[in-house]
Structure 1
Amino acid sequence: MKVTVIIPTLNEAADIARSVSSAGCAEVIVADGGSRDSTREIASGLGATVMETQRGRGLQMDEAAKTATGDVLVFLHADTMLPEGWFKEIERALVDPGTIAGAFGLRIGSTHPWFRVVEAVVRLRYRALGLIYGDQAIFARKDEFFKAGGFRKLPLMEDVDCVKRLRGLGRVRLLKGSVVTSPRRWEAGGMVGNTLKNGLILALYMAGVPPERLYEIYYGRQ
């Protein structure tokens, strides 16, 4: 089994070294959407293949997937680190031919007790609704990923949309290990407020509100 780790970036100089390094000796493709900091140089210096694409996380990941040489793809956010033993966990999951994709649990890199609540909500979200988000390092067999249509060009929820289509082709599993993601987006938007806003966006998405409108609501643009 060969794995390609794909990391979409835009001005991620502060975090990219940790995410690339967490991939170990796997092929790493950094799909950059026009960074103006040293993201590309840092990633390249650590051995990652860096490609420039148009901006848009789903589009960036999709373009990188087309150049990947691995038969399994892992989509890793730039502020997130894969856990130790991640390769073996994926390998064990894919021994089952019916399993075509999956993701890891989520751990937030902060000791603040509120984040333990967020982590519990993520677990509950999976058990109750089967939902997996991109910050959990989604992985998929490459052929099944393309068969499902890859990531659509959506401004928001491209990860949930893709996993939904993958479920139509086979089993999607949540692994025991957990990625570690930065708390920055919760801290920037307010821990409670950001969590509530995420819940609102999910509820609206499940009610059929278009991703374009969700983007406007999430980022406060009219």
Structure 2
Amino acid sequence: MSQPNRAGRRKSPIGRDACLQADAHVTVVIPTLDEGHRIGALLAVLAGAPALVARIVVSDGGSVDDTVSIARRHGAEVVTGRPGRGGQLRRGAERIADGWIWLLHADSELPPGWAESLRDTLARADPARAYYGRLRFASGDIRARIVERLAGWRCRVFRLPYGDQSLLIHARLLAALDGVPDLKLMEDVALARRLGRRLAPMDLVIGTSARTYQRDGWFRRAAGNLIRLALFLAGRDPVRLAKTYRR
């Protein structure tokens, strides 16, 4: 536990002086599993901001399609291992010893101006905090707007952003929290709970696929996610919860 300084305020386990704001670039970590049909588009967008995105690490969970070859073709570093988003994110993030890490899902869609928004966040970012984006589904359905508002409420009230909102976190803070939890499901919630009040929103919209909501039904999918969240917070084994989760 950190000790109070002479002014009575607690020192950060990282220290702003050790993480100068001149460090205005990120390493993107993307977990993948058979994402060959869409990973190329995201990597191409990220490659369009080379001064901002210093590295891209694709952490693959055993894809049998062309995900890995596409990632390498776009210049991404690839790390492989067993499937499970928590473990994949953990393995990818462990390759970054210092600097800002941006945890991003393979189905994320970045809007025009995303690089400027992220650069603005980095310019004022505190390395002792982590930052999440604002969820936006790739759908014009009014029910998508309702689910987005519910996600915003969840973040404001409970400080529980999901992984599809992305997470910008400094490598030293992530290491101080013992890395991304190696869970098959709810790794994003477990990490958010460790961060607590150190979480803050950033002015960046993160688009995401609406495929699973359209397939399962908007409110049915949202209700299922809420039930799984409640069970996880109540102590249910994430491995058991993962068996009820359909990608």
Fold match by TM threshold 0.5:
yes
Identify which of 114, 117, 124 aligns with 2:143: 114
Please state if 1:200 is matched with 2:227: yes
State the match for 2:180 in structure 1.
151
The answer as to whether partners of 1:98 and 1:171 remain within 8 angstroms in 2 is no
State the match for 2:194 in structure 1.
165
The answer as to whether partners of 1:99 and 1:172 remain within 8 angstroms in 2 is no
Deviation at 1:171, TM superposition (A): 2.2
* Correspondences of 1:1-222 after superposition (within 5 Å): 1=23, 2-23=25-46, 24-25=49-50, 26=53, 27-68=55-96, 71-94=99-122, 95-97=124-126, 99-167=128-196, 171-219=198-246
The answer as to whether partners of 1:82 and 1:137 remain within 8 angstroms in 2 is no
Distance of aligned partners of 1:121 and 1:4 in 2 relative to their CA distance in 1, 3 Å threshold: same
Residue-by-residue CA offset, 1:12-67 (whole Å, 9 max, x unaligned)? 01110122223232111111111111111222222222222221111111111122
Deviation at 1:118, TM superposition (A): 0.9
* Alpha-carbon distance in structure 1 between the residues aligned to 2:41 and 2:137: 14
Deviation at 1:83, TM superposition (A): 3.7
* Alpha-carbon distance in structure 1 between the residues aligned to 2:177 and 2:28: 19
Q: What amino acid is the match of 1:108? A: F
Instruction: Give structure 1 stretches of 5+ with no counterpart.
Output: none
Deviation at 1:97, TM superposition (A): 3.2
* Alpha-carbon distance in structure 1 between the residues aligned to 2:119 and 2:170: 11
Kindly tell me the number of residue pairs found equivalent between the two proteins. Answer: 217
Task: Give the secondary structure class of the aligned counterpart of 1:218.
Answer: coil
- Identity of matched residues, %: 34
Instruction: Give structure 2 stretches of 5+ with no counterpart.
Output: 1-22
* Alpha-carbon distance in structure 2 between the residues aligned to 1:179 and 1:139: 12
Residue-by-residue CA offset, 1:136-184 (whole Å, 9 max, x unaligned)? 01110110001101112212100110121123xx621111221111111
What stretches of structure 1 move > 6 A for 4+ residues in a row? none
Deviation at 1:106, TM superposition (A): 0.5
TM-score normalized with structure 2 length: 0.80
The answer as to whether partners of 1:155 and 1:211 remain within 8 angstroms in 2 is yes
The answer as to whether partners of 1:201 and 1:214 remain within 8 angstroms in 2 is yes
Larger C-alpha radius of gyration, 1 or 2? 2
